[in-house]
Amino acid sequence: MTALVSPKSEPVVGAEIDAYCSKCKLPTNHRIVAIDGGKIKKVICLTCQGQHAFRLNAPKPRTRKSNDPEVAVGAAPAEPKPPKAPRAPRQPKDPKAAVKKNLIIDQDTTNRAWRDLKESVASGRLVPYDMSGSYAVGQAIDHHTFGVGFVTKVILPNKIEVLFESEQKTLIMLVRKA
């Protein structure tokens, strides 16, 4: 049988105490789990088995500022507030991010460059894209999702930029298979 802790006695781990359960939302019997410096820190509710910080009483309900007319006791509901003026768009802190955000890719130029490369490469020279493969600039690849593309840049150690018909993508290469 475990000991019942009274408010005047020293708390002991394993003893039972009446406390507010934050899960049950009621004062229930709890077992003390942790004590720090003579103060009860954690308890387990014997009703719901929930472990939580020790609270002797229910927490006080949160109240808004007393000068808020919408919350004042006995006050009539306040008139609706006028809509706020629209805010200016937030400026990115990073200047490079601003450049990337405002970067406009000319779709016609991309399509034209891709068509020129497509005409210069014979269809037999297409290599199926594989993440474990190695690629060189100018090589034509066949990607299972994006279609035919051309390696425009090798980013060491394991990335390539590939120009597809609709856009340019960065892909990985030289990935070891498990």
Give pLDDT tens digits for 20-79: 888 888 888 989 888 888 888 899 998 898 888 888 888 787 776 655 555 555 555 667
Domain ranges of the chain: 16-53, 107-172
Report the C-alpha gap between 141 and 138 in whole angstroms.
10
Three-state SS string across 52-96, please? EECCCCCCCCCCCCCCCCCCCCCCCCCCCCCCCCCCCCCCCCCHH
Give pLDDT tens digits for 113-139: 777 777 777 666 788 998 888 888 888
